Copies of this chain bind each other. A is one copy, B any other.
Amino acid sequence: MNGAESLVRTLLASGVDTCFANPGTSEMNFVAALDQVEGMHCILGMAETVVTGCADGYARMAGGPAATLLHCGPGLANGLANVHNARRAYAPMVNIVGDHATYHRPYDTPLTSDIDGLARTASHWVRTSSSSKTVGADAAAAVQAARTAPGQIATLILPADASWSAGGEIAAPLPVPARPAAAPEVVRNIAQVLRSKEPAVLMLSGRALSEAGLLAANRIAHVTGAKLRAPSQVPRMARGRGRVPVDRVPYMLNNALKMLAGTKHVILVGAKPPAQFFAYPGKPSLVSPADAVTHVLARPEQDQVAVLASLADELGAPMNAPIPEVGTQPELPRGKFEPEAFGRALGALLPENCIVAEDAVTSGRSLFAVTYNAAPNDWLQNTGGAIGHGLPCATGAALACPGRKVVCLQADGAGMYTLQALWTQAREKLDVVNVIFANRIYKILQTELLAVGAQPGHVSKELFDLARPELDWVKLAGGMGVEATRVETLEGFADAFKAACRRRGPFLIEFRI
């Protein structure tokens, strides 16, 4: 057995059976091994940032890692932005990056590059297999690293000769370390803080945003009056009717400061201290009040659900604390696009148990508050700020959850980074409704230019404008085998969206706004 075959068999033995790939010559032995070994589901992406974005979406919904197969340093570089986003979501991922044969590297041929250096910038774990004999063991260690809480990026660099040489050995799965338990005194101390009834905010992320986590957090809020909040970007959140409604900290600084004003205790549950996405001259980076005390109830690698339950028990909270009311389902709004009205339309139309993948900073900002009453769903966001996340994330999520409708909410500027994901959706016949917010401008940048105190001039207008020429998303989707339509009103959107939800397979709605 060569190294490549031992790699495939070890990945399968370790429970990794999905591989998003864009291979090259140095990965040919891995590909040949895939031909020989049954059981690995391989999905082709036509650009590596699609490949890694798919792996992110897959991992968030599957709860375990997919592998990616990438070609040398440039292949990894092309995929690194969505690896960055996955790292920020604590999504586990096993990247297999092919390299030249070890003895070939001194010739510094065109594709030679510093893969190890590249990988380290965005991975928790990096290793280069030194020979075919170690490939299996290295792969098992990579999966172990990826599965280690809270979920890590593991990158295994595979020289071509380690891949093609004989002597490969399948390695048994390695044990995954248990999530560290909360220290009882931490729970007791924070219970004490909450009993004081001083204004407190629980900042929830990770598993705390699962249905179970939110229910436990709601018990705490019920007996203490603590506010439940989530970061501006959530990796995955259980939302919709029957779920505990939790507001995110707003992206806009003044709104964030207002939300957290008066808070005396910020209690972190898998989240970081709330900070501004970007710094602005003379403004604070942290958005919690300067005199608030920060407490860590659960670190990202701990089991936030268990810790929240312990705290609720410690506080004597009832098991079935009432879930706050969020009003009734609104009527379907009509007329031109307006963020909040769109959100109300979406809230009325989202299908039961769907997955929402959102990568729309400007158009998406108002969606949360008006969709609490939607059908139950899992909502995924771009956690790392590297735009072009929505389409591939939706694609990977659809592969992880074949029975569920996926709704991708994608800004047009960001969508152009990874439009190739549409082709993978068509190829795999994935059940995704892609909604493109076609405002034909990098709207967020216009806002940010004003935020630094500048006035738009001829260059900035040029650099933010996406309307010359106008993108035609119906043609772009059609060019990749995805049916599409264009709408210009909320009622037009409602009709198109309902029709798209009734059928199966990918569809795209360009909403001209």
Contacts and interface: CB of A to CB of B under 8 A. Distances in A.
A326 interface: no
A459 B78 contact: no
Nearest to A78: B81
A385 interface: yes
Contacts of A260: none
A361 to B, nearest CB: 10
Contacts of A165: 281
Given A118-B118, A459-B31, A462-B44, A110 B384 contact: yes
Contact of A479 (B107, B109, B113, B479): B479
Interface in A383-404: 383-386, 388
Interface string A269-288: 00011011111010001100
A28 B452 contact: yes
A114 B121 contact: yes
A426 interface: yes
A286 B161 CA distance: 16
Contact of A233 (B77, B110, B120, B385): B110
Contacts of A281: 161, 164-165
A101 to B, nearest CB: 4
Interface stretch (A34-42, A171-179, A370-378): A34-42
A152 interface: no
A475 interface: yes
Given A417-B78, A426-B469, A459 B111 contact: no
A495 B242 CA distance: 64
A413 interface: yes
A452 B121 contact: no
A277 B460 contact: no
Contacts of A465: 44
A185 interface: no
Contact of A480 (B26, B273, B385, B469): B469
Interface string A103-127: 1100111110110011011100000
How many subunits of this chain does the assembly comprise?
A: 2
Contacts of A478: 472, 475, 479
- Of A26, A278, A454, the most chain B CB neighbours within 10 A belong to A278
Interface stretch (A201-209, A339-347, A442-450): A442-450
Interface stretch (A17-25, A60-68, A302-310): A17-25
A458 interface: yes
Interface string A20-60: 01011110110110111000101010110100000000000
A160 interface: yes
A110 B383 contact: yes
Contacts of A444: 25
A463 interface: yes
Contacts of A73: 84, 121
Nearest to A89: B110
A100 interface: yes
A507 interface: no
A102 B418 CA distance: 30
Interface in A152-174: 160-161, 164-165
B84 A385 contact: no
Interface string A398-430: 000000000000000100110110010011000
A456 interface: yes
A234 B228 CA distance: 60
B416 A46 contact: yes
Contacts of A327: none
Contacts of A31: 445, 449, 454, 459-460, 463
Nearest to A275: B107
A28, A383, A470 — which one has the most chain B CB atoms within 10 A of its CB? Answer: A28
24 contacts: A25-B451, A26-B278, A28-B449, A29-B454, A31-B449, A31-B463, A42-B462, A46-B413, A47-B416, A74-B386, A75-B386, A77-B78, A77-B84, A101-B279, A104-B285, A107-B273, A113-B121, A117-B120, A161-B281, A416-B423, A423-B469, A476-B480, A478-B479, A479-B479
Given A73-B84, A104-B275, 8 more contacts: A25-B445, A32-B454, A35-B460, A113-B121, A118-B121, A161-B279, A423-B471, A470-B481
